[in-house]
Amino acid sequence: MNLLLPPFLLLLIYIFIRYRKSSDPYTLDHAALNAPLFPQTMWMNMGYWKNTNSFPEACHALLTLLLEKSGLLAGNTEGEVRIIDLGIGCGDQTLAILRALPRARYTGITNNPLQLAFLEERMREIGTGDKGRAQLRLGDGADPDTWRVEDEDGLETWILALDCLYHFRPNREKALRHAAKLGSFAAFDLLLSERAKWWERGVLWAIAVGTGAPYDNFMTAKQYTDMLLAAGYMPSEIEMEDISSDVFGGLTAYIRRRSQEAERWGAGGWKKWKIAGWIFGLWDKWGMVRGCVIIVRGAKR
């Protein structure tokens, strides 16, 4: 009994100190007891913030922009089309593509087993027709040998990469060479500004080391174009559009606003997102990194 006394006294002391910090033991942190544990969406990209201040809407809008720029959303394809989607995360883009493109045959690839299992659970809720058009793979987007997709003659193929290529290790080159053999390519990717100063490149190097993204993946538009040409695409097939002004600023403002709201309600876990918001704010202010839509309409070779 005496052995239990010191821990019991320590517990009483802790409770006393904890509640002496405020005359009212209750703030707003009991919001955690009322908030839903599982959100309706699990989007994860930088978003296209032109007409929204909602994170899920901005993420969906970025996907929609890719599909519009590629012509897929307008139905500018002959017959059935195949989508090979690299870096699908928790699958919000998977579900959105299946809804938007009812004639598409879809293969989604992720290297994260936990997120794949989460998506497979979500797929049980969609119709059998959509489910039959979709295949999910555990593989490395940077390594086509792990995609397990077959070459299908006569089927228009698009490789989709929504906000993931700059993470590829060691680089994007092997994936792009394979994409050029299969067909067309659509991506949102991060490029290095041609006007970036040496010290801005140094800051970017530090950010890349801290976030685990290979620094050499940050290429200028010319370097990126040369990479696409080396992969097998033709100059006339390549289109690039800088949409940075509708990406970084909106995302920075959202993270700032959301973190302030979370603090007010006593919700933690926002440290890494505050750091991310600071980084996106630098890119928005300095312009050293550019968010670009890249469309390459290539014939299968």
Give the pLDDT confidence score for residue 1 in this predicted structure: 47
What is the DSSP annotation of 148-167? -----TT-EEEEEEES-GGG
Give the pLDDT confidence score for residue 9 in this predicted structure: 59
Q: What tokens were used for 112? A: 């994260």
Q: What are the E-state strand segments in 19-162?
A: 81-86, 104-110, 134-138, 156-162
Please state the pTM of the whole predicted model: 0.88
Helices (H), 101-234: 113-123, 128-132, 173-182, 198-211, 221-231
Give the pLDDT confidence score for residue 26 in this predicted structure: 56
Give the pLDDT confidence score for residue 116 in this predicted structure: 95
Give the pLDDT confidence score for residue 268 in this predicted structure: 72
Give the pLDDT confidence score for residue 86 in this predicted structure: 98
pLDDT digits (tens), the chain, 301 positions: 455 556 655 656 655 565 555 555 556 666 666 777 778 899 999 999 999 999 999 999 999 999 999 999 876 666 689 999 999 999 999 999 999 999 899 999 999 999 999 999 999 888 777 778 899 999 999 999 999 987 776 789 999 999 999 999 999 999 999 999 999 999 999 999 999 999 999 999 999 998 899 999 999 999 999 999 999 999 999 999 999 999 999 999 999 999 888 887 777 777 888 899 999 999 999 999 999 999 999 866 5
- Count of helix runs (H) and strand runs (E) in the chain: 10, 7
Give the pLDDT confidence score for residue 290 in this predicted structure: 98
For residue 204, the tally of other CB atoms under 10 A from its CB is 23
Give the pLDDT confidence score for residue 126 in this predicted structure: 80
| β 156-162/184-192 pair status | parallel
Topology at the third CATH level for domain 55-196+214-244+288-296:
Rossmann fold (3.40.50)
For the chain, the structural domain boundaries read 55-196+214-244+288-296
